[in-house]
Amino acid sequence: MELIRQAIRYGIVGVINTLITAAVIWIMMKWLGCSDVVSNVVGYGAGLLNSFVWNRQWTFQSNTGWWSCGLRFGMVFAVCYLLQLGVLLYLNKYLTIDPYYNQLIAMGFYTILNFVMNKFYTFKE
């Protein structure tokens, strides 16, 4: 039951993070004319702090110290981010659709992987 509750809460936080990330990526790509990679970096950076605070406090209700938890969160983010960036670059090379849609697909991959790693590593007590 706790796993389901955490998954639902993670999903809620994730939707908010996804909206923040997608909006920033869209603004960077469409309004500012930035590259896919620059837009992706800035978009994910915008959602990172929000994700850490809400997932630590609400989703996983972790009592682990802020610094140690933050370090693990950062490492998990880096691994998940680099893997999703690889997915994005692969999709951009082989799919002939608007690169923005590839961003959304890569975000879905990131979300699932990030939940699993945060559940069993970052916020595990």
Query: Over the stretch 60-110, which tens digit does the pLDDT of each residue have?
Result: 999 989 999 999 999 999 999 999 999 999 999 999 899 899 999 998 899
Query: Which SS3 state, helix, strand or coil, does residue 55 take?
Result: helix
Q: Domain of 111?
A: 2-122
Say whether pLDDT at 21 is over 80: yes
Q: What was the pLDDT predicted at 111?
A: 86
| Confidence band of 119 (pLDDT split at 50, 70, 90) | very high
Say whether pLDDT at 44 is over 90: no
d(CA 74, CA 38): 19
Tally of domains in the chain: 1
d(CA 5, CA 25): 29
Residue type at position 42:
V
Query: Which SS3 state, helix, strand or coil, does residue 64 take?
Result: coil
Cα angle for residues 107, 112, 44 (degrees, 5° grid): 35
User: What is the model's pTM?
Assistant: 0.74
Q: What was the pLDDT predicted at 45?
A: 87
Q: Write down the mean pLDDT value for the chain.
A: 93
CA atoms within 13 A on the CB side of 80: 24
